[in-house]
Structure 1
Amino acid sequence: MGDLSNEPDPGLLATYLNDHLTGAEAGVALASRIARVQQGTPSGPALAHAAVEIERDRAALIQIMKDLGVPRRRLKRALGRLAEKVGRLKLNNRLLRRSPLSSVVELESLWLGVNGKSRLWHSLGAVAAGDNGLSPQLLDHLLDRARQQADELEDLRMRAVEDAFGVLSHRG
């Protein structure tokens, strides 16, 4: 059932942060690829902006890990890059050209990652209350930015749904 002592295991935070760094690596690669593919489309500028912000958030996580003395685990980072590449292999009923469904699935994946990142910032906000050198103000800023990114990605996802399925959304 686990350790019944009240002493926190410092390795757990390191594992948690490295797991999120793995996801961040995959998210940066996915966001950059989506922005590149959508360059020149109406969604292109918003996706390019999202890719830059997602990269900034990854850099913020790396800095937080440095500040806390948490080493980065190379194997997990390599697995994250591999997972992003495997995620490109999806059956979408198109062999030689990009399917509109690809945008829907990719934006959903990115949205899920951004929401996971917001949970990271929220959790670290609770950790920051323990006076360990984490800045609650920085974490609040990162959390707000993640929420804004999720909202923007949802708007882009709904546009992709409209394009893929020929429907009008009921945005409101």
Structure 2
Amino acid sequence: MPQTATGRTPRHESLAAYLDDHLLAAETGVRLFKAARKTWEGTEHESVFAQLVEQISDERDELETLILALGYQRSQIKKALAWVGAAVGRTGPINPLSTGRGPTGQLELETLQAIVRAKECLYRTLLVLSAHDHRFHAPRIREMLELAQQQQDAVARVMEETVPARFLT
């Protein structure tokens, strides 16, 4: 069994499950950001969500590539959950009317921020692991961490700019 730079052996089962969980969440995130792009279509914020969909899709693909490069297999159960989630996601579960108005528009933006925050936590975890395991490329993880923070800021800006229209008369 390979050892890390510190001589410790990776817990492959735990790490594989953790990364697979984040991949499942990333797949869900892509669907929710696509729904948000639809919500904000035709507004000044449309381009923000179009860019976020592209970035988050690319990150999901990169995570899947990492999982395979590490020699881990996707859980068949989680693959099935991703398929079910895709079917449910088409209905726009958070904001089914695809409107930026009212409490559902607010909840959608808050959920998107939470998704990106979870991804930031993944990168922080991988950054710690990179100090112990040479399979994780610290400079790239730092780039991804910075991108996640920029994505959070972008969603927060849309929320802050649009919240008065949702709740003030």
Structure 1-normalised TM-score?
A: 0.81
1:67-146 matched pairs, under 5 angstroms: 67-80=69-82, 82-83=84-85, 85=88, 88-89=92-93, 98=99, 100=101, 101-146=103-148
Shift of 1:158: 1.9
Q: TM-score scaled to structure 2, two decimals?
A: 0.82
SS in 2 for 1:24: helix
Residues 77 and 120 (structure 1), Cα distance of their counterparts in 2 relative to 1, 3 Å cut: same
Q: Report 1 or 2 for greater relative contact order, CA contacts < 8 Å, sequence distance ≥ 6.
A: 2
Q: What is the alpha-carbon distance in structure 2 between the residues aligned to residue 21 and residue 45 of structure 1?
A: 25
Of the candidates 64, 67, 76, which is equivalent to residue 65 of structure 1? 67
Q: Unaligned 5+ residue runs, structure 1?
A: 1-5, 168-172
| Aligned equivalents of 2:30, 2:97: Cα separation in 1 | 25
Aligned counterpart for 1:152 among listed residues 151, 154, 168: 154
Question: 1:55 is matched with which residue?
Answer: 57
Q: Distance in 2 between matches of 1:99 and 1:43?
A: 10
Q: Deviation per CA, 1:96-149, whole angstroms, max 9, x where unpaired?
A: 784612221111111101000011011011111123321111100000000110
- Residues of 2 paired with 1:104 and 1:79: CA distance? 26
Matched, 1:28 2:30: yes
Quickly say closer, same or farther: Cα 1:131–1:150, change in 2 above 3 A. Answer: same
Kindly tell me the number of residue pairs found equivalent between the two proteins.
159
Cα distance in 2, alignment partners of residues 131 and 141 from structure 1: 18
User: Would the aligned equivalents of 1:31 and 1:51 in 2 still touch at CA under 8 Å?
Assistant: yes
- Residues in 1 aligned to 2:67 and 2:48: alpha-carbon distance in whole angstroms: 29
Aligned 8 A contact 1:111 1:150 in 2: yes
SS at match of 1:54: helix
Task: Please list the CA deviations of residues 43-98 of structure 1 after superposition, one character each: whole Å capped at 9, or x if unmatched.
Answer: 111111111111111111111112211112243144245457368446x8xx9784
CA-based RMSD of the aligned residues comes to 2.5
8 Å Cα contact 1:29-1:81 kept in structure 2 = no
In 2, distance between residues paired with 1:82 and 1:105? 22
Q: Percent identity?
A: 28
